[in-house]
Structure 1
Amino acid sequence: MLAHPTLDKLNAMGLAGMAKAFGELVANGEAEHLSHAEWLGLLLEREWSSRYDRKLAARLRFAKLRHQATPEDVDYRADGGLDRALFMKLLGGDWINAHDNLAICGPSGVGKSWLACALGHKACRDDRSVLYQRVPRLFAQLALARGDGRYARLPRTLGHVQLLILDDWGLEPLNEQARHDLLEILEDRYGRKSTIITSQLPVSAWHGVIGDPTYADAILDRLVHNAHRIELSGDSLRRNLPRKA
């Protein structure tokens, strides 16, 4: 069998992973001892892995996660009060299938954003669409989009992703337009998609951040009542990071 024509055909059909594996097998003397079924199995496995890696890379680019955190990086021994059993259950993703939400609360620097990004990374690995947004920057983006004609497209994107991460919620009170925008986003997602929200404030203080009682009741009803909760504590992990020269 001629190797080069086969490689050309595999590449022409877009089977880059299979073509690379084929070239390696031909160059490997031990490959002569493989059966046809074993050859085919190895080629298919490499092609599947190649396509999965490309799709995962695309999902991670779209997600724009703040931290390159993965579930394997989570330190359950850190003194932050993380419930390992709960977090492992969340990594399973059933709560996303059920369109539940997740609130991660605790003081600054205890790892809220890191945990949210680790869950986002796992969701990308599970072939789910994810998008990370810092809340203060999100409202600024929405205000700009309203002025340049992109407003309709941005909320549509926020509404369609399977997991939306809203980081740094509650740093400042919401104004009238921000309240309206947040309610519209959550209304589009309620019962259809899942949202992670991180905050330095406890959930009991969120009503005051929203400001208007009517909007606050509507927003929290869509966000909190079906939300799992992680409560973290302890000193900032940033204090333990080495200082830059």
Structure 2
Amino acid sequence: MLLNPTLEKLQTLKLTGMSKALEEQLQAPDLYQLSFEERLGLLLDREATERDNRRLNTRIKQARLRQAACVEDIDFRHARGLDREQVRQLLNCHWARDHQNILLTGPTGVGKTWLGCALAQKACREGFTVRYHRVPRLLQDLHIAKGDGRYPKVMAGLARIDVLLLDDWGLSAFTDQQRRDVLEILEDRHNLKSTMVTSQLPIEHWHEVIGNPTLADAILDRLIHNAHRIPLQGESLRKKRRKVAKAKAAT
């Protein structure tokens, strides 16, 4: 058997997983005891795994998550009101399959963004497309997109994302145009895709930060009524870590 041409053809066909597995089989004499069908099955399994990993890496890269977080590292030891059972139920990602939203609220430093990124990364692992945006920057980008003609394309791209993570919601009051942009984003996604929001403001204050009562009602109707709410509380975890670091440095 001419192995080099076979390996080259596998590479040409972009069957890199099968190529690597074949090379490994050649270095493992015990595998020669397997039947042709069994060895072929191993090659196909390796190719499928390689492709799954490549797709996952692409989804995570395209998500542009602010923090490298994963659900396996969620810390329930700190008293911040995080419900272990609620989080466990969210880990199956049924919320994304059912096009439900997640709202994370709480004071600065309690881990809203980190937890949002962890849940978003889990959604990537489950095969969903994800995109992270800070709300102030996104609204600024939409304003620029209107000027250079990219607005319809940008909005269409946001509508296609399975899980849209909007960070730092409500840092400042929305302008009229920003209210309308947010409504268009949520209208495109309502009952079709999932949206995750993190905010320092309690949900009951969102109406006033949006401003216009009519548009605020429309926005919140599309955002909160099918949402899982995760209200966090307590002292900033960053402050706690600094205190621990200072204590260690003093000893």
- Distance (whole Å) between structure 2 residues aligned to residue 30 and residue 43 of structure 1: 15
User: What one-letter code is carried by the residue in structure 1 that aligns with 2:237?
Assistant: L
Deviation at 1:131, TM superposition (A): 0.7
**Amino acid in structure 2 at the alignment position of 1:116:** G
The structural deviation recorded for 1:123 is 1.0
Amino acid paired to 2:20: K
> What's the counterpart of residue 86 of structure 2?
86
Matches within 5 A, 1:18-97: 18-97=18-97
Counterpart CA distance in 1 for 2:161 and 2:140 is 20
Distance 1:178 1:162 in 2: 22
* Alpha-carbon distance in structure 2 between the residues aligned to 1:43 and 1:59: 25
1:208 pairs with 2:239: no
Q: TM-score of the superposition, structure 2-length normalised?
A: 0.93
Q: Deviations over 1:62-98 (max 9, x none)?
A: 1111111111121122322211111121111111111
The answer for unaligned runs of 5 or more in structure 1 is: none
- What is the aligned-residue RMSD (CA, Å)? 1.3
Deviates more, 1:188-197 or 1:7-16: 7-16
Unpaired stretches in structure 2, ≥5 consecutive residues: 247-251
The answer for the alignment partner of 1:107 in structure 2 is 107
Q: Residue in 2 aligned with 1:182? A: 182
Helix, strand or coil at the partner of 1:197: strand
Aligned partners of 1:223 and 1:64: how far apart in 2?
A: 22
User: Does the 8 A contact of 1:3 with 1:23 survive in 2?
Assistant: no
1:231 is aligned to 231
| Structure 1 Cα separation of the partners of residues 119 and 201 of structure 2 | 21
2:196 counterpart SS class: strand
- 1:2 Cα deviation from its structure 2 partner: 3.1
* Contact 1:65/1:131, CA 8 A, preserved across alignment: yes
Map of 1:126 onto structure 2: 126
CA offsets per residue over residues 158-184 of structure 1, 9 Å max, x none? Answer: 111111000110111101110010001
Identity %: 51
Aligned length: 243
- C-alpha displacement of 1:195: 0.3
Structure 1 position 3, deviation (Å): 2.3
1:38 and 1:235 map into 2 onto residues whose CA distance is 57
Letter in 1 for 2:105: C
Equivalent-residue separation in structure 2 for 1:78 and 1:37 (angstroms): 53
1:88 partner amino acid = R
Equivalence for 1:10: 10
Q: What is the CA distance between 1:237 and its match in structure 2?
A: 1.3
> In the alignment, does 2:177 pair up with 1:197?
no
- 1:152 CA drift (Å): 1.0
Q: Is the 8 A contact 1:166 1:198 kept in 2?
A: yes
User: Aligned letter for 1:228?
Assistant: H
Separation in 1 of the partners of 2:42 and 2:69? 31
The 2-side partners of 1:38 and 1:80 are apart by 52
TM-score computed with the length of structure 1 as normaliser: 0.95
